[in-house]
Chains A and B, each alone.
Chain A
């Protein structure tokens, strides 16, 4: 639990407000005013206050989101504010719609045919699900790291440069590649072999390469769908350390099956569950420490204590 204490300067802060209130649209009036994203300081400003767990100025705001695959509903009425420059974990049993929810945040889910999405997601107060929004532009701002490392069969350099190139990056590409690899904690291992194939790396290195590839586009939000599930504990540890580093400049949302991982790395945790109707819903959302130590919902408690299904 030492990590948790590091993450939270004030571990005694207790949320007395019923969890539902955070998702009540009327409650958070502050975010309805338009903002200029670049003028805002990114660090520390959004730490939860002692009294409430209200998220001021969320980076991502999911409002009443429902998703259907064909006629089958997978996610039902999820509302969730994601704090800026923090790590938010999505946990829940298999099939509860974590990936679906995550992939809606960068409009990736609509690549699947037969998908229907209702509700709204806002990034910095700008709605994504309205006419005229180009999903390609959305994905440039919200990067994604996938469950299985999926580098292209190109060189390490070209993997990292891929996104920047298609986005018409004008600056010094060598410098960008170096920076991204450094940020992804991979530079020292590959700096002498940037022309080597990305596929020649180990699984953990490949995943860090994929993170570098996502960072090189200079996104604001990084979505990670079980980024460590194909990795061994040491590689996992490296990615977790890396996430902590990245959280100083990016907003990170991570889906994980590993509750220790959620507890170790995240500031906030959302617990989702699909009940008899098989529609995934948000059960509880709050600061990670609180959710894991004193969950307010019985089903959350059952899940995190392993007394589940």
Chain B
């Protein structure tokens, strides 16, 4: 209120507040603040619970043992989280081998090559792909992809296997990559394309040297989102890859991911309050740290490579 310059008491005639309007403004501001506060409080609450429960777990199991142990059998006292981390990363990396190239190339096709008509057909299809419940992807993997792999060139693939989970999570995250990348490619100003065409660039050169680098920050963001989504994906992976915490890099075997394990525990296998139950907080903390690191990394990558436009 330090800016208030009114010194003379009195009633303004023309410039006074209109009471009703002033009240409405305040209510709107309060409601908006309330909504923002709810999200902040929720986030803080989650982090606090995560850390307090997680730390009580780490008082009993040393973090180094937790992070370096290679066996995950909490029932018999083995709390090595590596198999779960490896299973999670394997699925995420495998899925990104599908989602990143397919998503990027389809985004380039949509943004730079497709006619408006073709675009108007493909875009909605991709959106439908993004809207399918993940459990459906799960049994699509179990009942279609795995049998297909078995009948074709991988006869000894297990019923539950990491490979079909990778494929299905990859397909699931293609729309995320393609639609965000498409948006950022289309946001590149036409004047830059014209500048490149104007000095005799071919369409391919315009895309690779101007459009794509300009859109890179959005494109990398879409990759990070897709990978985060793959890391966090639960249902499809549980159904497709099973629930066997193996320390393996063989995608033909069953694995268990971190989220899948959390589901398994919350389904009531371990009673509340036990160390077994508290494992889920430790794992959630680890997941949290992983996605955090990924986001920080992506921010660095983006600021390093992006060509920024006003």
Taken together as a complex, chains A and B put the C-alpha atoms of A136 and B196 apart, in Å, by: 10
User: Are A214 and B309 within 8 A (Cβ)?
Assistant: no
Report if A202 contacts B (CB, 8 A): no
Confirm or deny: B269 has a beta carbon within 8 angstroms of a beta carbon on chain A: no
Q: Contact check, B198 vs A214: say whether CB atoms are below 8 A apart.
A: yes
Interface size of B by CB at 8 A reads: 24
Residue A126 lies at the interface, judged by CB distance under 8 Å to chain B: no
Q: Which residues of B contact A108 (CB under 8 A)?
A: 194, 197-198
Bound-complex Cα distance A144 to B198 (A)? 6
Count the A residues whose beta carbon is within 8 Å of the partner chain — how many?
27
B210–A143 contact, CB under 8 A?
A: no
The 8 Å CB contact of B198, one of A137, A143, A199, is A143
> What are the residues of chain A within 8 A of B199 when measuring CB–CB?
139-140, 143, 162-163, 166-167, 213-214, 216-217
Q: How far is the CA of A183 from the CA of B244 in the complex (A)?
A: 70
Nearest to B201 among chain A residues (CB) is A166
Assembled-state Cα–Cα distance A163/B201 (Å): 7
Cα–Cα distance between A113 and B205 once the two chains are bound (Å): 20
Is A146 a contact of B197 with CB atoms below 8 Å? Answer: no
Q: How far is the CB of B231 from chain A (nearest CB, A)?
A: 32
Known: A146-B191, A199-B310. A152 touches B198 (CB 8 A): no
Distance in angstroms between the alpha carbons of A153 and B191 in the assembled complex:
12
Main secondary structure on B side of the interface with A: helix
**Bound Cα distance from A210 to B195, whole angstroms:** 8
Is the pair B205, A153 in contact by a Cβ cutoff of 8 Å? no
Q: Which of A111, A113, A199 contacts B197 (CB 8 A)?
A: A111
Q: Is B124 an interface residue (CB 8 A)?
A: no
- Contact at B214–A139, with CB atoms within 8 Å? no
**With contacts A146-B191, A162-B209 known, is A153 near B214, CB below 8 A?**
yes
A150 CB–B CB distance under 8 Å: yes
Q: How far is the CB of A180 from chain B (nearest CB, A)?
A: 11
Give every chain B residue within 8 A of A299 (Cβ-Cβ): none
**Chain A residues within an 8 Å CB radius of B309:** 153, 199
Q: A300: which B residues are within 8 A, CB to CB?
A: none
Residue B189 at the chain A interface, CB threshold 8 Å: yes
Contacts of B198 in A (CB 8 A): 106, 108, 139, 143-144, 146, 214
- How far is B191's CA from A146's CA once the two chains are assembled, in angstroms? 8
* A154-B307 in contact (CB<8A): yes
Contact A150 B192 (CB under 8 A): yes
- Residues of A contacting B308 in the complex (Cβ-Cβ under 8 angstroms): 153, 199
Q: How far is the CA of A140 from the CA of B198 in the complex (A)?
A: 8
Q: How far is the CB of B119 from chain A (nearest CB, A)?
A: 12
Residues of B contacting A199 in the complex (Cβ-Cβ under 8 angstroms): 308-310
> Given the complex, which residues of B lie within 8 Å of A143, measured CB to CB?
198-199
* B191/A150 in contact, CB under 8 A: yes
Interface of chain B residues 196 through 246 with chain A (CB within 8 A): 196-202, 205, 209-210, 213-214
Nearest-neighbour CB distance to chain B for A230, whole angstroms, equals: 11
Contact status B200-A167, CB under 8 Å: yes
| Cα–Cα, bound, A163→B206 (Å) | 11
> In the bound complex, how far is the Cα of B205 from the Cα of A199, in angstroms?
21
A148 adjacent to chain B (CB < 8 Å): yes
Q: Is the CB of B205 within 8 A of A166?
A: yes
Closest to B115 in A: A113
Q: In whole Å, how far is B210's beta carbon from the nearest beta carbon of chain A? A: 6
CB <8 Å contact, A136 and B202: yes
| 12 pairs, CB–CB < 8 Å, chain A vs chain B | A108-B194, A136-B202, A139-B198, A140-B199, A144-B194, A146-B191, A150-B192, A152-B210, A152-B307, A153-B213, A163-B200, A217-B199
Where the two chains meet, the residues of B that have a C-beta atom closer than 8 Å to any C-beta of A are 115-116, 189, 191-202, 205, 209-210, 213-214, 307-310
